[in-house]
Each structure stands twice: as C-alpha cells, then as structure tokens.
Chain A
C-alpha cells in the first residue's frame, strides 16, 4: 500500500470526493421542475390537444369537408356537415365531435385540413376523473382555439348568394374575370 492510498483510507478520501460533487450542486442552477408550480417549456411543434380556429371576424374556419375524419387513424373525429342556415352555399360543420380518449396526437387531421381550421395547441392538462369530459364538441374546440390562438387569420371573401333574381343579374353583370366587379 502506498502512502497516498493509506492517507486516502485514513481521511475517507472517496467520501470527501463524493460529497464534493454533491455540495457542488448546491451552487448550480436547479434542473428539477416543480410541476405544477412551474410549467415546462414546450418545444415548437408540440402536439397537444386539438382546437378549431376562427377567422378575424369571428366566423369559423371549418367548412365541414370531413377530410380530418377520413384522415384520422383512430376514429376520433365525427363531422356532420350541412348548408349554413341563412347563408346559402356556405358549407359548415353542423356538429363536430372530438373524442380525446382515442386521440393518438399524430396530427394527420391538421395536415389534412384544407382551410387550416385545425391546430394542435400546447395544452396537455386534460387529466380527468370522468372520461366523459374528454368528448369535446364544436364549441369546446373553438374555445380551446380562441384561448390558444388569439391572433386570427384574415377571412377570404364570401362568395355566397342570396335568393331571388340574383342569378340573372349577377351573370348578366359578369364579364371576363379581369373586368369583373366584385359581387
């Protein structure tokens, strides 16, 4: 046994070394997150709960095309579409149900949406004692969208129609698109 090894044994060198490492952490920044007192930083592209979005004038983006429904691998979404009452030619989702319990957060529905009406939020605190609270309807989904995406996109012009003689007058007034007046 050499002298240094003997001294190490006498003065508990390994313990000192170990405690040194421990005490060093007292002066370092903590990496333990005190959830739920502190919230984690989520990366961009985090796939949290689904939301439905609106345009800047407060109307829904969704046109009820049901492409999300067909894109969904686990039958989460159910869309029932119809013509919007009072706005002929405007297709909308009469009901839109989203079963979070089945969702695998793959984001296919968001990719499928042709009008960017769907977005995945960074919300994840949806644990519940009652699974029924996880069946979301359209109003709930729009509310999630509202609170997560306050900045809304601009709405394209509504090319609908009104009943009456509009067809004849509109077509007569119509020239080639370049000279066309905005209806």
Chain B
C-alpha cells in the first residue's frame, strides 16, 4: 500500500486474535475472513468479492470460533479481541462440504450445455471437496429469462450468491438487479421484474460464479477450454481497459474482463487503479472484428470502379503516384490524416513517413478535434500538455469537479472511479451540466447550467473562490503577480452577467466554490462540451485560472483529467502525428526539439505544415493533390459545410487505409485493408498516462496488415530507408529519441501568463450564440454509452443494444411542438435541413436537443457549422442553433 493510501484509510485500533494457534493483529472492524486471508490462508467462499462489502449468502466460508456452538460465516463476522478461530479443521471441512452439497441439491446438472462449464466455481468446489453424493435433489425447472437484449438469466443454475446484485449496486452504482420471489423461488431479475434495461456493462456476468447469467452474443458457441485467450487493450475510449479477447478458429467468440469471480481476494483500495471490469462497448462490441464487411484485399480504382488487386500492385501504385505528384508539384502537394485509434507505432511510422519520405508536415490525426484544444491551452498555461492525474487520484480525490462531461456515458470506467470516491471515500462531487446526467443524479452538488455556459460556470467558480477569500495563503505568496492580476480580472466580471449566462445564482457559486476548496486533493474532469466548443481553448485557460486560484498547481493528487473519446488521442499527441507536434509531444516549432529529432533521423525536418481544417482547405483550393488517410473518414465526420466531398473529388490521389470501406474509401483511388487493434501488436497511451500493451489476439482478416507495415512498405517502394520488421522496433526508436516520451511532464505556472489574463476576462463570458426566435434550439451531437466514433456502428452486437439514430428533445419542447417519441420532425439551420425521428427525453433542459454523433443516417451533422479555433486549430462542429418543425405525414 502506498504512503498516501495509508493516510487516507483512517488509522484504526488494532485487535489481536488467534487463528489456528497463530497470533495475528488486524484493524478493528475487519472481518474474520479478511483477517485469515491476510495471513495467506484461504477459506473457500462463493459470494465474496473484494470490490464490494461481504454479503454472506453462500454459507461456505465457515470457521470455528471458540465459545460458539455452530460454525460462523467468517465474511460477515467482525473480529473481537482475544478471539480464537480455527480454520483448517476436519469439522470445518465437513461443514463447508455440506454447504456446497446444499447448493448442489438445487443446481441442475446441466453442465454439458452450460456456458460456464469449465469456468464454474461450483464445479471447482465440488471437485475440491470430493462431493459424490448430494442427497435429496430439489430441481426448480424454471424457464430461462431471455427478455434482455444482451444477457440470459437461467435461475435454475443460480445459487443466490448476490454477487451480480452487489457489484451492480455498490461498484457500478446502477442498481439494475434485485432478488424477486415468485413461484416459490427467489429469482434475480431486473428491477421491477421487467426486461433488463441498464448500462449493460456485464460485470454481473463476470462475477457470476455459475452459469446463471450468460452472454447472448456468444451463447453455446464455446467451452472455455476451446478458446485462446489474449490480454490486450480495448480500442474504444481512452479509459485504457485491459481485456481478454477469446478466440477460436480466427473468430472472436467473446471478450471477458480481468474482473471475474476467480480474482476475488484483494483489498478494496486496489480498485483505485481500476476494478478490472469493462463497459458495454468493450465486453459486447467485438462482432466488428469478425464482420463480413471487413476489407480483405486491396482495391484499386480501374475504369471508375474499385476492383480487387494484390498487395504488390496496390502499394506499388500508391508509391508510384505519390512519387509522381511529389516530383510534379513538390512535397507540399501531399497530405496525410491518421486516426487516433491506431497504435503509437502506427502513428510514429506514419508521421515519419510523411515528414521524411514525403517531406511534408501536412499531417494530422483525429486527436485534432478531441485532445488538441486541451493540449494547446494547458501547454500554454502550465507547460504540461498532458493531464497529470491518474485513476488513482480520481478515486482518492477529496473533490471532483465534472464540467461539460457526461462521463458515465463517454468514459464509463473513469466514472466508476468517481463513483467509488463518492461512495467509499467521501468525495465531494460537483457536476455542472445542462442535462440531468447519471452523475448529476448521484452527485451531492449537481448544478444544471444553461446550455453552452460551461466556460462561464468555471469563471463564476473562480470569481466565487477569489471573492469568498478561499485562495490559499501558499498561492498568494508563490504567485503574487498572477494572483493579483487574476483578482482584478475577475472583479471586472459582473455577477449579473454570469448569473444570466449560467442560470445559477451568486449564492450557488459561493456554495460550489466552498465545496470545491473543501479538500486538499482536487480533480477536474473536463468533458467535450467544454473543450470541443468554439471557445474551448479559452475555456481550458479559464480552468487553468481556477487551478491557480485554488492552489491546485503543484499539489500532489490534484489536476485535470480530460476523458478522450478515442483510445489513443494522448498517444497521437505524444508520438507527434500532428502538424504541431514532434515525437515526444514536443512542439514542432521548438528549435531544440527539432534539432534533436532531425539529428536522430539524419536530415532536416520540413517547415510549415497544415492541420485538418487547413488540409481540407488546401485540397479544395487545388494546392494539395494527394491525401493519404489512415482510418480517417473526414467525409463521415466533418459537417457538409466543411466542403469535404467537393475537396475529395478534386484530388488526384486519395488513398484510404481502413478496416472497412468508409464513405471516404468509396471515393478513394486506392483502398488498403488495415488490421484492427486486436490483430496487431503495439501500445496505446490511455487518457490517464498508462502505456497499454496491445497484443495480437488473432490473425488479421483476409490479407489485412498492420498500418505501420503498409506505411513501411510504401516508404521502401518510394526509395526511403524506413525499415521496420516489428512494432517494437518503432517504439524503441521513439524512446531513443525521447526517452520520457510517454511520461507527463511536471506542471508549473508559466511566466508571462499574467499579462494575458486581464485580456481574457475582458471578453464576454459566453461565446455561444444567443437564442434567436428564428433558431430557438441548441443542437449538439453527443456520445452515447454503447457507441464510440463511427467504428462501433459496424458492430452488430452494439447496434442490437442501441441503434437509435433519433433526435432527443425535452419533454416541454415536445409538448409545445405537439410531437411524441417516434414522430418525424424537420431540423433546419441556415446551412440546411434534415428530417429525423425524435425521442422525448425528460432529462434534457428546455431549448436543447441532441443527436448521437455516431449515426449519419439521417445526416444531422450536415446542418451544423464548423468553427476552427485560431490557436489550437481544433475544429468544433458538434453544436449549433436550429429550428425544429413538426412534419405532417
């Protein structure tokens, strides 16, 4: 246990007891079970799991306590001073054996058809206790509950250990399951005995020690011993979960979590680095890997149509045409885009290919519209582009401020850390969000703010902190000028303006500020609604001001976390796959860093460069003739107003390298099939700074190859000395150039920042357009729990769970428009209009509507404007004002 952990857990008096003639001291309140486990002994049990409080339902963990006639359930009995406990005795073995026999009396012996066969705690127990006779058998004969989309509940097999209910209630805090007595038996059912409608994280499935809960997507398709299991990283969001991909015959059959009934012994505090569970995307979104829509062979456009070709032809074609364009128009006629879902090795190989082989700095990754605003602003303010807090810090934070983030939907595992702090470590959680999100419903300080006023909320909080005299003495003495400047700057903000912008009163700000500074360790979670807005860059600077005012800079355990949507956005910045970044995450215009990279590569680096929006403009103006897009689909991501379709049609060469044929791929001249994360080796850098190993779990579909291998081959055909044979070589090269590439640097207030603070506060607090009578609704594109980007919409499992491409509107607005869920409405903006079905959502505020960004049918994104930040060059295209009219059928 680390130092700070010990300080967190209250020091309790120790108690001495005797276990099997051995003296042991444990803190007061420990259960006998934990005391015995702590000695390195084991007591068999079926309902115990370290992630939640002991429940005591299985009756197997029996021990003998002197002075008590009957055996005692050790997990629920606290230790008493001077207690004499006997664990390893023949009597206790028999008592435990009897308890297991009792479970077997009601358990059907349908092991041959059960999916848990071979991975079943009851089987293991029966074997270990040598049970051959089970006495009178009482079979339940119940039908299987198949009402849920994802999970099947077979209550015949259930041993009523309640692990599923407890993990759902105490760890995931969704509380979707309950015991329900009907027909003379206790069942585990969804709340209200209806079809299960929850987050479908599947942690209940993971902890079920028998086959009572089974996975519908892989039902009866396997026996555990038939599967080849590989632990690799999930490639949906940036929470960086490790998961087991289980494969047979080149098909992913299921994905399981490291959380399981098998790993049950640990300290609850160990969950601070993650409890090992997964979310719905990780656990049930694996079908896209097996999809028949995957690209299996390279395609080359011949006579206007894409035709299958061999790798030899395809890479030669790309190399030949890139070389010709470079010779005719210079290297700056070529640009490259890469997705942040690629591994660090892919990203590094690609940026080196673009900069060294092609000789241009016109490259960008999808971290541009995700992580870039945050990085640019934080580097400017604090000198550290990357978030410095980890999972651990979030769990043990005294206060957590969540702004503009529906974190339970976008990054569910990070949300579990906040929930853990909330329920077990007395964290003060402050949530500011226009929508009544799941976290708003749990948090002690929920604030419903006006749509788009997240920046103003942060400013108001800063003002309340400074004017309430809550600035720590240490800050005023360490940064006297900065504090003074900030003080005068916030004085220029009027409370009236902030109140009208956010919809919160001055007293509310004072309350929030008091709650925020109440603890030492503070974590701010910045979601995409505050960072990826037109004023996102400024918003992050405002957060830096709040950090300064409350003394968070340099405070251990304090900092900002930016939950990214794509798994390797942080990696894309660190590896330098962006026009303004060098390998190691160094700034591209930093002369010392340029010299270091240039020396390592043996040559000079190209000057200039273009980011995503500039590349699109360059193509449209005819300056850029060739685009090499890896996993990126600008046509499907950017709104119509960005003019991507027109731009792409002007290209002389468009290469799309993807696992699927995307909209962009359909326009491409050459399409190269790429391997998915489960099919290659490498690393991801997750949103919390952990380097996650990515291990190949199965062979790539068809002839698909890892991105770095394709890039290397094209580079070699173009005559460059890019020579890698495995992913590790690429990583080694990066670490040779920048040994600390994957570490977040220390954060400290940058000199000279004071000057611009005043300027920043001279601007109006809210940059969002005011509601007008013509366009009264604020439309935003949002992320839903079961999807991530566009990739998950290729997954038939996740589509089965959620394929609702519907516009959500508030109940009040639905009433005034005279529409109900399922009706069609016309959404129009100055940029166009689109017809879409609606869904009424009671949690949305009046005047707000939202549409899942993952679906392009109908293309709601096309009515939104695109706005590019002048500093970070990050395009913001997920919000805008619209008018909604009912469509009369």
Interface residues of A (CB under 8 A from B): 63-67, 69-70, 80-83, 88-89, 91, 114-115, 159, 161, 163, 166-167, 170-177, 180, 183
Given contacts A65-B113, A66-B223, contact A176 B144 (CB under 8 A): no
Task: Report yes or no: A114 in contact with B221, Cβ–Cβ below 8 A.
Answer: no
User: Which stretch in B73-81, B135-143, B352-360, B860-868 binds the other chain?
Assistant: B135-143
Q: Is the CB of A167 within 8 A of B145?
A: yes
Q: How far is the CA of A75 from the CA of B141 in the complex (A)?
A: 36
The answer to whether A170 and B112 touch across the interface, beta carbons within 8 angstroms, is no
| A164→B677 CA distance, assembly (Å) | 39
Is B724 positioned at the interface, with any CB of A under 8 Å from its CB? no
Other than the given A81-B220, A81-B222, A172-B182, 15 more pairs (CB < 8 A) read A64-B113, A64-B220, A65-B112, A65-B223, A66-B223, A66-B226, A91-B112, A114-B112, A167-B145, A170-B142, A171-B183, A171-B187, A175-B183, A177-B138, A177-B141
| Residue B147 is within 8 A (CB to CB) of chain A in the complex | yes
B177-203, CB under 8 A of A: which get 1 and which 0?
000001111010000000000000000
CA distance A82 to B143 in the complex (A): 19
Flag B118-150 by CB within 8 Å of A: 1 or 0 each.
000000000000000000001111111111000
Docked CA distance A69–B249 (Å): 15
Check: B476 CB closer than 8 A to any chain A CB: no
Q: Most A CB atoms within 10 A — which of B113, B147, B183?
A: B113
Q: Could you say which residues of chain A place their CB within 8 Å of the CB of B225? A: 66, 70
Nearest Cβ on chain A to B226's Cβ, whole angstroms: 6
Considering the chains assembled together, what is the distance between the CA atoms of A161 and B154 in angstroms? Answer: 12
- CB of A83 within 8 A of CB of B220, answer yes
Q: Of B113, B142, B220, B223, which contacts A171 at CB under 8 A?
A: B142
CB-defined contacts of A69 to chain B, threshold 8 Å: 226
Q: B520 — which chain A residues lie within 8 A by C-beta?
A: none
Say if the beta carbon of B485 comes within 8 Å of chain A: no
In the complex, which residues of chain A have a beta carbon less than 8 angstroms from the beta carbon of B143?
A: 159, 161, 166-167, 170-171, 183
Closest to B108 in A: A159
A177 proximity list for chain B (CB < 8 A): 138-141
Query: Most A CB atoms within 10 A — which of B144, B220, B249?
Result: B220
Name the residue of chain A whose CB is nearest to the CB of B154.
A89
* Interface 1/0 per residue, B205-240 and A, CB below 8 Å: 000000000000001111101100000000000000
Contact of B184 among A80, A88, A176 (CB under 8 A): A176
Category for how many chain B residues contact A: 20 to 34
Chain B: interface secondary structure? loop
Known: A89-B144, A171-B182. A82 touches B221 (CB 8 A): yes
CB distance from A92 to the nearest CB of B (A): 8
Whole-angstrom CA separation of A176 from B185 in the bound complex: 8
Q: How far is the CA of A174 from the CA of B155 in the complex (A)?
A: 13
The complex places the Cα of A163 from the Cα of B185 at a distance, in Å, of 22
Which B residues between 96 and 123 are near A, CB-CB below 8 angstroms? 111-113, 117
Report the bound CA distance from A159 to B220 in whole Å. 16
User: Nearest-CB distance from B152 to chain A (Å)?
Assistant: 9
Q: Given contacts A65-B113, A81-B220, A114-B111, are A175 and B184 in contact (CB under 8 A)?
A: yes
Min Cβ gap B181→A in Å is 11
A91–B113 CB distance below 8 A: yes
**Which residues of the partner chain A approach B146 to less than 8 Å between Cβ atoms?**
88, 161, 163, 167
Q: What residues make up the interface of B, taking CB atoms closer than 8 Å to A? A: 111-113, 117, 138-147, 182-185, 187, 219-223, 225-226, 249
What's the minimum C-beta distance from B221 to chain A, rounded to whole angstroms? 6
Within 8 Å CB of A83, what residues of B?
Answer: 219-220
Chain B residues with CB under 8 Å of A67's CB are 112
Interchain nearest-CB distance for B631 vs A (Å): 32
The 6 closest A-B pairs by CB, nearest first: A65-B112, A174-B183, A91-B113, A91-B220, A114-B112, A170-B143
Q: Is the CB of A63 within 8 A of B183?
A: no
A144 to B219, CA, bound (A): 30
Bound CA span A83–B215, Å: 12
Question: Shortest Cβ distance from B843 into chain A, in angstroms?
Answer: 29
List 14 contacting pairs A-B, 8 Å CB cutoff, sorted by A: A64-B220, A65-B113, A66-B223, A66-B226, A67-B112, A69-B226, A70-B225, A80-B249, A83-B219, A83-B220, A171-B143, A173-B183, A175-B183, A177-B138
In Å, the complex CA distance between A114 and B139 comes to 19
- B186 CB to nearest A CB, Å: 12
Contacts of B220 in A (CB 8 A): 64, 81-83, 91
Docked pose: A69 CA to B223 CA in angstroms: 10
Q: How far is the CA of A81 from the CA of B145 in the complex (A)?
A: 21
Name the contact of A180 in the complex, choosing from B117, B141, B222 (C-beta under 8 A): B141
The answer for the CA separation of A115 and B183 in the assembled complex, in Å, is: 30
Q: Which residues of the other chain, B, contact A174 by a CB distance below 8 angstroms?
A: 141-142, 183-185
Give the nearest-CB partner of B180 in chain A.
A171
Q: Which residues of chain A come closer than 8 Å to B139, judged between CB atoms? A: 177
User: B149 → chain A, closest Cβ, in Å?
Assistant: 13
A76 to chain B minimum Cβ distance, whole angstroms, is 15
Q: Which residue of B lies closest to A65 (CB)?
A: B112
Nearest residue (CB) in A for B152 is: A89
Nearest opposing residue in chain A for B223, CB measure = A66
The answer for the CA separation of A80 and B222 in the assembled complex, in Å, is: 7
User: Are A63 and B141 in contact, with the CB atoms below 8 A?
Assistant: no
Q: What residues of chain B lie closer than 8 Å to A115, measured between beta carbons?
A: 112
**CB-nearest residue of chain B to A171:** B183
Query: Bound complex: CA of A67 vs CA of B225, how far in Å?
Result: 10
Residues of A within 8 A of B112 (CB): 63, 65, 67, 91, 114-115
- Collect the chain B residues with CB atoms within 8 Å of residue A161's CB: 143-144, 146
Chain B residues with CB under 8 Å of A173's CB are 183
CB distance from A159 to the nearest CB of B (A): 7
User: Shortest distance in angstroms between A75's beta carbon and chain B's nearest beta carbon?
Assistant: 12
CB-CB < 8 A to B219: which residues of A? Answer: 83
Give the complex CA separation of A89 and B225 in angstroms: 21
Minimum C-beta distance from A107 to chain B (A): 18
Using Cβ atoms and an 8 Å threshold, which residues of chain B touch A163?
146
B221 engages A81 (CB within 8 Å): yes
Inter-chain CA distance A64–B112, complex, in Å, is: 8
Residues of B contacting A167 in the complex (Cβ-Cβ under 8 angstroms): 143-147
**How far, in whole Å, are A73 and B448 apart by their CA atoms in the complex?**
65
Q: How far is the CA of A124 from the CA of B225 in the complex (A)?
A: 32
Question: Within the assembled complex, what's the spacing in Å between the Cα atoms of A166 and B182?
Answer: 15
A81 to B146: give the CA distance in the assembly, Å: 19
Q: Which residues of A contact B140 (CB under 8 A)?
A: 177
Q: Is the CB of A159 within 8 A of B141?
A: yes
B185 proximity list for chain A (CB < 8 A): 174
Separation of A171 and B155 alpha carbons in the complex (Å): 11
Q: Which residues of chain B are within 8 angstroms of A80 by Cβ–Cβ distance? A: 249
Residues of B within 8 A of A89 (CB): 144
A70-B225, A171-B142 given; A65·B184 CB < 8 A: no
Residue among B138, B143, B185 facing the most chain A CB atoms (10 A cut-off):
B143
Contacts of B187 in A (CB 8 A): 171
